[in-house]
Amino acid sequence: MDFLHSLPTKVAAEFEAVLDAVAKAPPPAFSGGGKWQAMHGDMAGIYEVRITSAGANHRLFCMLVRAAVGLGGPSIICIDGLTKLPRSAARPREYARVRQYADEFQMRGRVHQ
């Protein structure tokens, strides 16, 4: 939530619109138009919402969960975000933090995917 609240209102609204579209037509029905991407390798199981604005690339990392304690049904779990310069890679420690949060959610949320 801190990440989303730190963004310009227009960028946060665009993230919300992408998440709403995914919720209404989850993958594979939702193609994403380049704004919703499945991650690979060590980041498999995590999705990335990509928004570009004012010389910055904003990324919101999410998981699709069919069932978990307290969620009441299929959910999109937003686990972390970052802002980086265009055409620059995220640092390995940022990806490690995202993976850590995802793993922690799966353990504590008792996820059944």
Confidence at residue 25, expressed as pLDDT on a 0 to 100 scale: 80
Confidence at residue 7, expressed as pLDDT on a 0 to 100 scale: 93
Q: Which helix (H) or strand (E) holds 52?
A: strand 47-53
pLDDT above 70 covers a percentage of the chain that reads 88
Tokens (6 digits) for 61: 């990392």
Q: Which helix (H) or strand (E) holds 49?
A: strand 47-53
Closest by alpha carbon to 112, among 73, 65, 71? 65
Residue type, 10: K
User: What is the pTM for the complete model shown?
Assistant: 0.87
50 DSSP β-pair partners:
59
Answer whether the bond into residue 86 is a cis peptide, omega within 30°: no
111/50: higher pLDDT = 50
Tens digit of each residue's pLDDT (9 = 90 or more) over 59-111:
999 998 877 667 777 889 999 999 999 989 899 999 999 999 999 988 876 54
pLDDT above 90 covers a percentage of the chain that reads 59
Closest by alpha carbon to 109, among 78, 47, 65? 65
Q: Does residue 82 sit in helix, strand or coil?
A: strand
